[in-house]
Structure 1
Amino acid sequence: MKIGKIFAFAFVAAAPGVYGWGAVGHHAVGYVAMNFLAPKALNFVQNSLGPAYNNSLGPAASWPDEIKSDPATWGWSNELHYVDALDDPPTSCSVDQKRDCANGKCILTAIANYTIRVADTRLDAEQRQQALKFLGMIPFVGDIGQPLHVENIAVGGNSISVKCNGKTSNLHSVWDSGLVNNLVAANYGNSETVWADALAARIKKGGAYASSASSWITCSSTTTTAKKSLLPWIYGLLDTQEIQPLECPLVWARESNKFDCSYVFSYANGTDLCTSDYYSGAVPIIETQIAKQGYRLAAWLNVIFDGSTKLPLK
């Protein structure tokens, strides 16, 4: 299993709110990705997930809810959904792999691990499906786009009390679900598929995101590694076939982390984050991040199965 062995014996992390974006956001990332899968990647996804998930990455997002009920088996995976950036927002934001993933168990290394496992034909179908569900919607390519999944302060915002729709919540939960649920209910008939289709349309030719979409996948190599100097410790943990930390997850994490300085912590105390100007300002960030990570997920799977991103605008 190589690096998978490290994860398999990880301790159970007491980390609240580790499933980024909530169910609606996760589903949307998967549904966006389905619009852009190349033939071999699409074939693998449909055959691997099968009727249980309607042959789609979208419904596969229900999987984290299922495994949460079995912490004895799956608790080890909690810490793989985030990276604790030890920075100081809103003053300064940064992600450093050596500093922030010192034990080798975080979303950055998880993406590298499951990228290799999903493509490993020596594994059985169940193992590869599990790798796909981790890599795709549960979360990891999706979660890395949620700013508070790349932040350490106040347990990624979990211990910061805020208001959402008149009720007490915490900042992490508001970004996972509160803002997203309000948005989808208000603008998309409370349908995650209608939302995902709208986001996909913006990516395609003539859409609002079309001019920037190509820049989202500038980093799309599933094999280009981060500099060894960043993580000298990890190489002693691996067997002969090293699974090395990848460059792209770090690029994506740093991009998301910038929002922790530019917006996430910018509210005034006592503000209802889900009904105020804060909500209005958060919406374009959330929609762009969901669209971006869905597009990146498709590109990532296309590189694995079809040999390149295969993403000309349609």
Structure 2
Amino acid sequence: MRAVWLLVAALVSFVASPALAWGAYGHRTVAAIAMKNVTPHTRAEIRRILHAEPQLVTPDCPVKTLEDASVWPDCVRQDGARWAYTFPWHYQNISVCRPFDIKAKCAYGNCVSAQVERNARLLADRRLPAEQRLEALMFLTHFVGDLHQPLHVGENDDLGGNRIKADYGIAPGLNLHWIWDGPEAERAISSANPPLVRRYSAAEKARFATGSVEDWARESWQVSRDFLYPAAFGTLPCAGDEADHVVWSNEAIEQAIPVVDERIERAGLRLAKMLDEALG
């Protein structure tokens, strides 16, 4: 029993780390899928743009690969004096208890859906200095991942589940958002068969790499509304009856695995398509 509780304590300590804030594993997986599925020309362009990394002057957040780029926007948040203006770009918080509205919670373009579209345009603009295009590459890579994390889009006045204390199975002390960013994503990605990071067939790309940015946001919102909140609360809590503590049960953990895997796959292949369009 002591060994079990030591394991639980280690799990809680690991998943609660800000470095996992989709956590780093999820974002890096999205980037790795994209890099495997872009054209050779796009891959070469990405590596060329990454050479502008010294001009960023962010030595605490080095970027050598697209996987590094995928976590850079979270890393630089530790320097609030310089990057605080980017904080609202990571999410949108559209209520699951009202009709979907892509314009909600996005004043002056300060939301994840608007920033995906903005940074795709900046990346494609060859008139811009190399370091600005590199920033756009990193933000685009990260925000496509964020847009596919359901609790970065759908929420119920609880900051995307951040206000909901939650246990992950028998592991206590987390919140609902952290569970989906960290341990749930890690469980799903690590157990995927076939592995998520691979070359996908033309048929798979045709299935997953579809839709507009608005469509992608709506999908995440629907996952929150139709699966995630009911799985956490037993119902969609739209009558003011949302508890402030839930248990993300072992059954919910298992049911969420294919949902998470599909969100990651869609994000990676859609990112690959956007990169090909911007850099092709």
TM-score exceeds 0.5: yes
8 Å contact from structure 1 (residues 111, 135) kept in 2: yes
Cα RMSD of the aligned pairs, angstroms, is 2.5
1:288 is aligned to 262
2:221 is aligned to 257
- What pairs up with 1:33-44 in 2 under 5 angstroms? 33-44=34-45
CA drift of 1:66 comes to 2.9
- What pairs up with 1:128-277 in 2 under 5 angstroms? 128-136=133-141, 139-153=142-156, 154-164=158-168, 165-184=170-189, 187=191, 198-201=195-198, 204-205=200-201, 211-219=203-211, 248-265=212-229, 266-268=231-233, 272-273=247-248, 276-277=250-251
Return the TM-score normalized by structure 2.
0.77
Counterpart-to-counterpart distance in 2, 1:42 and 1:62: 18
- 2:84 paired with 1:75: yes
1:47 is aligned to 48
Counterpart-to-counterpart distance in 1, 2:112 and 2:63: 24
Counterpart-to-counterpart distance in 2, 1:211 and 1:66: 35
* Counterpart secondary structure, 1:168: strand
8 Å contact from structure 2 (residues 208, 265) kept in 1: no
CA offsets per residue over residues 194-253 of structure 1, 9 Å max, x none? x9x81144x623xxxx7553132233xxxxxxxxxxxxxxxxxxxxxxxxxxxx211100
8 Å contact from structure 2 (residues 32, 268) kept in 1: yes
Bigger proportion of residues as helix? 2
What is the count of residue pairs matched by the alignment? Answer: 240
- Give 5+ residue unaligned stretches, structure 2: 1-17, 54-61, 235-244
**Which of the residues 113, 122, 126 maps onto 1:121?**
126
* Identity level (%): 30
2:5 is aligned to none
Counterpart-to-counterpart distance in 2, 1:66 and 1:98: 27
8 Å contact from structure 1 (residues 95, 250) kept in 2: no
CA offsets per residue over residues 263-304 of structure 1, 9 Å max, x none? 11123587642x601100111111111111000000011112
* Counterpart secondary structure, 1:98: coil
Cα 1:148/1:98, change in 2 over 3 Å: same
